[in-house]
Amino acid sequence: MKKTKLNKAHYILNGKMVEFAGWDMPIQYSGINTEHNAVRTYGGIFDVSHMGEIFLRGKQALDAVQYITSNNAAKLKPGNIQYSALLTKNGCFVDDILVYMLSENEYLLVVNASNIDKDYKWIKEKAVHFDVDINNESTDYSQIAIQGPVSEKLLSEFTKEDLCAIKYYHFIKGEVKGIDSIISRTGYTGEDGFEIYIKSDEDTASKLFLDLLDKGGKYNVIPAGLGARDTLRLESGMALYGNDIDNSHTVLEANLSWILKLKKGDFIGKNILLKQKNEGINRKLIGFELIDRGIARHGYPIYVDNKEYGTVTSGTYAPYLKKAIGMTYLPVERTEIGTKFQIQIRNNKVLAKVVETPFYKRDK
């Protein structure tokens, strides 16, 4: 099993370790509920080093990024970040990604852990005609996510950089505890927070993680695992590759039209998506909440007009909202807020209704 450079720290912290996408990762430390609510209220620190970092460098770096992603990377300035997607020619997902513009001819794509090899191969293959060097530097980088309302206060104890000046979906290069870092105001929790990318050895990375927790203690900051990461992202209405978005649903069906810029130049998937946009979609990803008691989970069958339609793509008990929520695809004519449908939980069909997403939105 692969180990992040913070692996030792998880054992020191007595994390409950599981295999995730081939990595030995903490699913939880003190408990998913506790960690989830700590992030909503104070702060939590996550090891997300399993995420992938793929760099595109060269004269045609922008052209390559434009061709392989759905969003308009030409809008980016150095220091900007964009949520985007790698799409198949059918307009479905290879992966959802973050695009960082590092400098004029240098972009960083941050990809899902489970997709690193696939994405790297895909990008190299699809960008072969561009004058660009493509490098998978995932194993060099550790990534620590500091998430929650106290994030800025805590991180400011470790850096002289003006964190206040880093806006949401922006980053700077700077030092954190003397370590060269990319300090990115991003996250996957629905809270304010930072993701710190560092290229350092195990001891340095682990020590930074433990030091952040040590100093974070006075703000009630605790370590948080992949369990809370999943419930936090779902409560915030964010899709997960492999659950809610995949290579059989288009970016329009996934209700992510805001990352689809059909007016930019040519890119993979454009033709089909232009057509789908004009003709309309048949199904759409929605958020739901259970009306009846129970918890709907990934893979449970859903019924529309008493006919089996699909399955729950993500479902959980939401620890902050304290109710059962989830996401699924429904026929587009049945996606209006309040529309009811059924989910089979074990031997019972229970009632659910379409609700607005995000389920949870922080006060700004």
Binding-site ranges for other proteins (CB under 8 A): 27-28, 31-34, 36, 227, 230-231, 293-295, 297, 316-317, 319, 324, 346
The residue (of 11 and 168) whose beta carbon lies closer to other proteins is: 11
CB of 223 to other proteins, least distance (A): 15
Cis peptide preceding 149, ω within 30 of 0: no
> In angstroms, what is the minimal distance from the CB of 300 to other proteins?
10
Residue whose CB is less far from other proteins, 317 or 329: 317
Instruction: Give the DSSP letter of residue 179.
Output: E
Residue 312: which of 345, 357, 339, 361 has the closest Cα?
Answer: 345
Q: At a CB cut-off of 8 Å and minimum separation 6, what does 82 contact?
A: 71, 73, 75, 76, 98, 99, 101, 169, 259
Q: Specify the residue, 28 or 357, whose C-beta has the smaller distance to other proteins.
A: 28
Of residues 57 and 297, the one with the C-beta less far from other proteins? 297
User: How many CB atoms neighbour CB 305 within 10 A?
Assistant: 9
Residue number, 91 or 319, with CB nearest to other proteins: 319
Closest separation between CB of residue 201 and other proteins, Å?
Answer: 32
Q: How far is the CB of 188 from other proteins (least distance, A)?
A: 17
Complex with other proteins: residue 264 or 323, whichever CB lies closer: 323
Please report how close the Cβ of residue 301 comes to other proteins at its closest, in angstroms. Answer: 15
Most distant CA atoms of the chain, gap in Å: 61
> Which amino acid is located at 336 in the chain?
E
**CB of 2 vs other proteins, minimal distance in Å:** 22
* E strand spans, the chain: 16-20, 23-28, 44-47, 52-57, 81-87, 93-103, 106-111, 133-136, 142-147, 171-176, 179-184, 193-198, 222-223, 283-290, 301-304, 307-318, 323-331, 340-345, 348-355
Numbers of helices and strands, H then E, in the chain: 8, 19
